[in-house]
Chain A
Amino acid sequence: MRSDNTETKSNEGEAAQFESFTIESTNGIVADYYRSYYNVIFRANLVLDKLELATPENKAAFAAEAKFLRAYAYFNLVRLFGDVPLVDGLISPLDTETAFTRVSSSLVYDLIVSDLQDAVANLSDGGANDQASKAAAEGILAKVYLTLGRYSEAQSLLESIMSPSRGFSLENDFKDVFYNEGNNEVLFAIGYAPSSNDDSQNFSAEWLNAVGRTSGVNYVSMDAKAFLDANGGNRTALSYREDAAQAGKYQVVKYLPNGDAALGIPVTSSDPTSAGNDWVVLRYSDILLMHVEAIMAGGASTSSSNAIASFQTVRNRAGLTDTVSSISKQELADERRVELAFENHRFFDLVRLGLAQDVLSAFSAANGLGYSTTDLLLPIPSIEIGLSNGLLTQNPGY
């Protein structure tokens, strides 16, 4: 939401701080996110610490899965918060120094890279796509490498995933990416089970209006709607819809829990607030567009035939079959915006491609929002700073 793509329906409350670039260090959503990710890291560290309990033949794979998840958590944390405390093992409650000392993001990236390299080496494909796999680790590591400007290493990993023998491909129907779970396009998803007390999710409902007690915390910005209308091809109709209860407001349709008969989207959960829609983290069109990015290698454009082939594959599925002869960085960012709309890529893409300053300052100015460059990092939650007894420092601008 901290981008030009979505906003809350009411434009108020904690969630709206994200869209207006006025996030407070007391924001509960930020604190929840921060703590949840350190909980993931704690659990991964716990698995790694107790590996001797696993049968010998499972040890390597279990360790690799834990490292994959730890790396994924740190990758999100380091991109959102910058330097963060680096906890790579179980620590005692009294070890506040480790828990609250922010370390340089380059050291955090070192752990992310080595964890993912281990995961690539020790995982295999063929399991459920909500479980860590070799391909998922390669894909996330490729994105890490792109973020770090290590383009050639990213390209090797992506081409490994793209090898036909690996069996990944785009779904013919864009809708099936989200409503035919377990398809060959999704490399990694956070899996949810409908109507389950423990394994369902309620973000699908929270994003909508009056489904349960919800009030629409992720509506489509007019900017994104206009952009999808112009550039989305057949993806547009499957990316947003008008709110039936409120004309002129638009909802994301990629994760509907209660279906949409007009779009042929089935009801996925009898109770929409206990939804089973998976959260797609990594899918094959992202791999193809990262392949373009790796070949562009930080340049302004590419006309390499291999890059164009990957780019064209994504566009062809969307029904945009006009021939492309070169791809600029802007065109790549634009294609990512419509292909991966509302899948939590836009902000990271803008930062990684060096477009955040231009795009967000212009969007902020046009809409009277409060963007400044320090908004590219989230605040360290004030409750954590309070607990740290002065060890944990705040990001600038908060």
Chain B
Amino acid sequence: MKQIANTIKSNIFNLKMLSLVALAGFIFSCEDNVLPEANSIEDLTPPSAMFSATESNGDWQTFDFSNQSVSSTTYAWTFGDGSTSTSKEPSHTYAVEGIYNVSLTSSDANGLTSTFSSDLEVIEPLVPVILLPEILEASFEDGMLDGGSGDGRDSWRSDLGGVIQITSSPTNTGSQAAKFPSGGDRAAYQELEVSPNQDYVLEYWYTMKTSGTGHMTVSVLAGGGHSDPSSAVAATIETFEGTDQSSSNDYVKVELPFNSGNNTTVSIYMFNAGVESRVDDVSLRLP
């Protein structure tokens, strides 16, 4: 047992000796490197400073700097607002908007330096505005357009059908509403400029005569420029086919939620079939 312990001890001793030798070797080789000896060659790759800056995620005032310098070991940054850093890859927060001249001086251990500077624009991003377009002649009243013009349906004309008629009774509010005769050959159409991928709710009121069968349909179409009924229907985002014939006098409210999708323009398209129908008080709101 004792013998084994001794062996272990002597092994430990050997290990220490080994590491001493290794250490000594390291010191000698260091000295070799420090002294400029014969056969040493000129440093052909002097430092070259370069950086890029990217806005930090979710914080427009803070920038992360990417150090792309070559052959350099120490770095001195000035951020153009009086602040400095000696980190390799600092990030820096600017207090106010502005254009800052950022400069990086990269040095190597021979004392050679290289400087690169670049203007950095720090600007607060605009908050996206959600468009809520006004629907023209939304209540089909006279004189609603610029300068008191408009017959209540000028904004609703299109090639998708004959122009709608105007009724004075019954209306939901005011003195006029849109009328779609039972022939079903009329259409109301209006294009709206919207924010893409935004949720909206289109509201309107409608009523239908009690006799006959048919529908009063209101659709939201993707894009604008629609002039052909079948391609217009193919572009439908959302639609509501109204069939409430319980009273020819009392208007029923419809809320039609839709998402504008990948469009900056959507169109309202109203048409009926079979039954004389009326629409009044169209409006658009956010959900």
Contacts and interface: CB of A to CB of B under 8 A. Distances in A.
Contact of B259 (A294, A300, A306, A372): A306
A373 B51 CA distance: 10
A382 interface: no
Contacts of A304: 197-199, 259
Interface in A381-398: 396-397
Contacts of B68: 374, 396-397
B198 A300 contact: no
Contacts of A355: 57
A299 interface: yes
B252 interface: no
Contact of B57 (A155, A306, A354, A396): A354
A235 B58 CA distance: 30
A114 interface: no
A168 B262 CA distance: 21
A398 to B, nearest CB: 9
Interface in B61-119: 64-70, 88-89
Contacts, number: 59
B196 A152 contact: yes
A329 B59 CA distance: 13
A343 interface: no
Nearest to B54: A357
A299 B129 CA distance: 12
B120 interface: no
A374 B197 contact: no
A145 to B, nearest CB: 12
Interface in A93-132: none
A295 B57 contact: no
Contacts of A303: 199
Nearest to B64: A357
Size bracket of the A interface: 20 to 34
Q: At the interface, is chain B mostly helix, strand, loop or mixed?
A: loop
Interface in A349-380: 354-355, 357-358, 372-374, 376
Contact of B262 (A155, A329, A376): A155
Interface in B236-287: 257, 259, 261-262
B50 interface: yes
B54 A152 contact: no
A374 B199 contact: no
Nearest to B66: A373
A304 B196 CA distance: 9
Size bracket of the B interface: 20 to 34
A305 interface: yes
B262 A374 contact: no
Contacts of B196: 152, 295, 297
Contacts of B57: 329, 354-355, 357-358
A156 interface: yes
A307 interface: yes
B7 interface: no
Interface string B178-202: 0000000000000000001111000
B50 to A, nearest CB: 6
Nearest to A152: B262
A372 B88 contact: yes
Contacts of A354: 54-55, 57
B56 interface: yes
B25 interface: no
B128 interface: yes
A306 B261 contact: yes
A236 interface: no
A103 to B, nearest CB: 19
Given A355-B57, A358-B56, A396 B262 contact: no
Given A304-B199, A358-B56, A373 B67 contact: yes
B58 A300 contact: yes
A392 B199 CA distance: 51
A396 B259 contact: no
A306 B89 CA distance: 40
A90 B54 CA distance: 38
A223 interface: no
A159 interface: yes
Interface string A287-311: 0000000110101101111110000
A302 to B, nearest CB: 7
A296 to B, nearest CB: 9
Contacts of B50: 396
Contacts of A397: 67-68
A329 B124 CA distance: 19
A305 B259 CA distance: 7
Contacts of B261: 159, 306
A357 B197 contact: no
Contact of A305 (B66, B88, B199, B262): B199
A373 B66 CA distance: 5
A55 to B, nearest CB: 36
A199 to B, nearest CB: 40
A47 to B, nearest CB: 34
17 contacts: A295-B197, A297-B197, A300-B58, A303-B199, A304-B197, A304-B259, A305-B257, A305-B259, A306-B261, A329-B57, A357-B54, A357-B57, A373-B66, A373-B67, A376-B66, A396-B68, A396-B69
The 5 closest A-B pairs by CB, nearest first: A396-B68, A373-B66, A304-B197, A155-B262, A295-B197
Interface of B: 50, 54-58, 64-70, 88-89, 128, 196-199, 257, 259, 261-262
Given A354-B54, A396-B69, 13 more contacts: A295-B196, A295-B197, A304-B197, A306-B197, A307-B197, A357-B57, A357-B64, A358-B57, A372-B67, A372-B89, A373-B89, A374-B67, A374-B68
